[in-house]
Amino acid sequence: MKLGQRSSLGDVAFTVGDALRRAGIEAVLTGGACASLYTRGRHVSADADFVLGATTDARAVVEAMRSIGFRRTGDHWTCPGVRFYVEFPRGPIAIGRDHRLRPVIRVRRAAKTLALSPTDSCRDRLAAFFHWGDRQALAVAVRIALLHPVRLGVIQTWSLGEGSAAGWEEFRAALRSARRSRRRA
C-alpha cells in the first residue's frame, strides 16, 4: 500500500507492521494505534507504536522502514505527506507488570501485522487510567470491550495485581452502563 495524505492511522499501522513482518522482524503494535483499530477509528492517536523483539537487528528495521518511505527523525519515523508517525518504544512488551502477553495477527486486505489482543489493548488503556487517571483511556477501554470479546477475568486479575481494585470496579460499572445503553438504543 502506498501511503499519502489520505492514509489513515490503520493504513500506516498495517503498512509498517506488514513491512516489518516481511523483513522477519518481530514487532507488536501497541498503544493508541492498536486501540484505534479495536475502536474502529473512534480513538485517535498521532502515532503507531511498535515494540520490537529483543533480538531485532536495528539495520533490518532501518531497511524495512525505508522500503515503505519512512525516515528517522529524532526518536520517531516519518513519511513525507503522511500525518501519522511511527515510534519504537523500548521493550520488552508488557502491560503494567505483566510480561506474558500473546499478540495476535491482524489482517487488512493483504497486509498482516502483529498486535495486542483486544483483551491486552483494553488492559493497556486501563493502565493509563489506573496510573495517570486518564479518563479518556477508561472510555476507550470500555469501547474496546463493547466491540470485541475480552477476557474480563484476566482483566480483573491483572487490575487487582496492579493495585487497582477501585479502577477495576469503575471500569466494570462503566462497561455495564454502556452495555445497558446499547441494548436500549
pLDDT tens-digit map of 53-104:
988 899 999 999 999 999 999 999 999 999 999 999 999 999 998 999 999 9
DSSP of 165-185, one letter per residue?
HHHHHHHHHHHHHHHHHHHH-
**What does pLDDT average to over the chain?**
95
Q: How confident is the model at residue 182 (pLDDT cuts 50, 70, 90)?
A: confident
pLDDT for 1 equals 72
Distance CA 13, CA 112 (A): 10
> Which distant-in-sequence residues (6+ apart) come within 8 Å of 76 by Cβ?
47, 85, 86, 87
pLDDT tens digits, residue range 6-57?
A: 999 999 999 999 999 999 999 999 999 999 999 998 888 999 999 999 888 9
pLDDT for 140 equals 98
CB atoms within 10 A of CB 164: 19
Residue reference for cell 516489518: 20
pLDDT tens digits, residue range 109-123?
A: 899 999 999 999 999
In sequence order, what are the beta bridge partners of 106?
113
68, 16 Cβ separation under 8 angstroms: yes
Read off the pTM: 0.94
As a whole number, mean pLDDT of residues 139-157 equals: 98
Q: Which cell is 131 given?
A: 496510573
Distance CA 149, CA 156 (A): 15
